[in-house]
Amino acid sequence: MTRAAGLLALLGLVACQAASAQQAPAPTALALAGVIAPAPGWQPLPAVATAATEAVGAAALAWGDPGRGCYAVVIGSRAVRQNPEDALAELGRGLAKVAGLTGWQIDGLDARGAVARGPLTGALRATAVAAGNDAVVVAAACVANAREPATCAAACQGVLAAFDARKVLP
């Protein structure tokens, strides 16, 4: 697994940590396709998506420009018996430990922060909503390695600006 796939899988793992073995249905990969708009020229990265899905047992999609070192992933999960605010707070605590999350700010049911792990740095956005007694969390991360950081940062800014979890949330 590449470093990008590893970091993105960790992001997904933390996003899904609150889910139990009795996990209720979460957003499907097909539904996640409209959550972000990949940057022009970015390609689907099924190996990264598969690694994230296998690591967390939840739907994931990934895109990127490996030649430039730019990567994005979207993951959807259901946190059983958690309210949305607690699900976002738990996501932030977990990512602080495994992905170097800093600046985690929760504003209502939305959150954002910066991630850094090894040579990868970037940003994360997440949204959570109530679904019965559970919370559905959709998170998008966009990261870059040191190959073309300025190009990737500009692309990631657009990718995360287009983040719209309402397309898949109940």
Q: Tens of pLDDT along 87-134?
A: 999 888 888 887 888 999 999 999 999 999 889 899 999 999 998 888
Q: Residue 61's pLDDT is what?
A: 92
Number of domains in the chain: 1
Q: Residue 4's pLDDT is what?
A: 52
Angle, alpha carbons 36-86-113 (nearest 5°): 45
Q: Residue 125's pLDDT is what?
A: 96
Residue 137 lies in a domain: yes
Query: In whole angstroms, how far apart are CA 27 and each of 32, 88, 99, 155?
Result: 7, 17, 23, 25
Q: Which residues of the chain have pLDDT under 50?
A: 1, 5, 13-24
CATH of the domain at 118: 3.40.1000
Provide the residue range defining the domain that includes 109: 3-154
Q: What is the pTM of this model?
A: 0.84
Residue 169 lies in a domain: no
